[in-house]
Structure 1
Amino acid sequence: MDLLGTALGATLYSPATRPRLASDIRKQQAAGVVSMVLCLEDSISDAEVPGAEENLVRQLGRLEREDPADQPPLLFIRVRTPEQITDLTSRLGTAVRLLAGFVLPKFTAAAGPAFLEALTGAEVMSGRRLLAMPILESPELLHLESRAEHLTAAARVLDKYRERIPAVRLGVTDFCSAYGLRRTPDMTAYDVHLVASVIADVVNVFGRADGTGYTVSGPVWEYFRAQERMFKPQLRRSPFSGRAEGLRESLIEHNMDGLLQEIELDQANGLMGKTCIHPSHVAPVHALSVVSHEEFSDAADILRTGPHGGGVLRSAYTNKMNEVKPHRAWAERTIRRAEVFGVARDGVDFVDLLATGMEGEGE
């Protein structure tokens, strides 16, 4: 399940109201999207829900009929209520085979069991295994006086469903909403200290490397068009100089420099993949998920010593120490990422990966 959680990559959200949803799914699959969430929750109004459900059932049925042998991206439905899980499973009929599972909103120890029990019922009904991705976004998970208690309680609820949880997702927009906050395109989630603190606590509870943890996905980046900025761009000029200066200007123009910095901070803070609301965000997430040759070299050296090895190794790049026991969990995680996204050749850096990845990005 850890490998699947890593493989989700940039998970693209789409409102279930889109009239050409089946075509959109095919288009994004061709553009490299690995996982999608078809949303019946916050992306649509309350009044749109019945129509969105009908559209979702119709579009997935069309997708199955037009190419019954095709395997689309991993498709998840983000529901509002537990009852929608069994209801939609029934209404989808044979098209349920296209579903990987469901996204469970506002997951807490109190609300979560009903969703997970409905998932079990849907599995029995459909005769197939279904996955669940809970979203941590409720105020009680954010408020200081209740955070630790509610996070640990939610983790206990998930524990018996571990083999059905590829990732735990973060609802940072809802966390900001609880305090009337919204980060600008000049800022990452980690610049909003209230949000950064809850991300740290979520990783502390759900992201442990001792076998009890889950893949925790990165928060959504909200911006995809040029915005007036107050601060300097966050991309240095020198890595792009002489080979990809136009790419740098394009990234800055569309506020991608903030996204790139947030992806790097996600990874540094133990998060993997990202929630995306625009196709242009997918290529940067995947490009920066590729393991560098240096990372791979260090990880392979650490793991080569075996599980009972120890000591300190000089990196093959002669620029750091690799302490075998403390760095082992990092090395295992890095090799898992390499299995999914590959390893860059020696001398290939993030600019090369971005330039290649963004050549075919979707609109």
Structure 2
Amino acid sequence: SPHTNSTYVLKDDLSGENFFRNFELYSDADPTKGFVQYSTLDKAVPSQLVGYLDSSIFLGVNYKNKTPGGRPSVRAESTKSWNHGLLIADIKHMPANICGTWPAFWLLSATQEWPNGGEIDILEGVNDYESNSVTLHTSAGCMVENSTSPNDTTMNLDTRTFTGHMATQDCDVNASNQDKNVGCTIRAPVAGLHSTPTYGQQFNDIQGGVYAMEWTTEYISTWFFPRNANTTSSATQPLDSITTAPNPSTWPTPLAKFQGPNCDFMARFRDLKIIFNTAFCGEWAGRAEEWNKSCRVKTRVETCEEWVGENPEAFVEAYWEIAGLWWFERG
């Protein structure tokens, strides 16, 4: 495309004190039926659910009280929305992979009824998952390419268009051959010798890193750059160059790349706002099939709701610490 060489220029700095000027706290019922009470700002501040850690943004949950009506948490949504660009988030800590949790850093259309304007989940998982899932949700007519997902070990790693594994490739939330609302998902490799921790406690152990999401008319890509890269992964890049003068054309293979002629990215994604939230249970984390995978045995509790309501001390690490957030657009 003709734009590939023009550079990205900072459009919005949403970091530090700018964050709460540009975000509002959503306090209605959780759309995914979570066992959560989203707090208003005037409740969240005195109960220490939001604030600053040094110059970073802190977004936490209640870990002090039993909460039979749902655990208090926050859902921060940007008041502004964007079309195409490069979103850079320097995240030092995310909610750990604790049974019952459902944290997400994502984008949602501010102007179209879901899923018509699209949804991009940059960093998301549930319960004790160990790797991130990057997901798109759209209306009908968005099928993405899986031509170079590494399904077998014989594939030449240098020819892959992304390093994750594509689990589903129809972004339509009502796709007939997929579970409802699944969308198209690329799962990060589980952390190990050749891959970086992308999620939960292992992410926090390396002090997190930078998630970058590039959204163009032709594709949507996500990268993760660890802060303390002690793995042999190729994703080692000085973080300050990524956050101040990002140039995705020089970056290594992304974790996820959604592209292909069978998705009209112009039509499917528009006016996206940024959201950080931590939910509990609900339609994903709380589903019986999901809870029963390992959390029922780990917690010795029959349901997600009972565990979350009765065990506040389990959720001390269920917080976001965001050191920087920037939106760039092509100059």
User: By the TM > 0.5 criterion, same fold?
Assistant: no
TM-score (norm 2): 0.27
**Relative contact order, CA 8 A, sep 6+: which one is greater?**
2
More strand by share: 2
TM-score w.r.t. structure 1 length? 0.25
Larger radius of gyration: 1
Higher helix share: 1
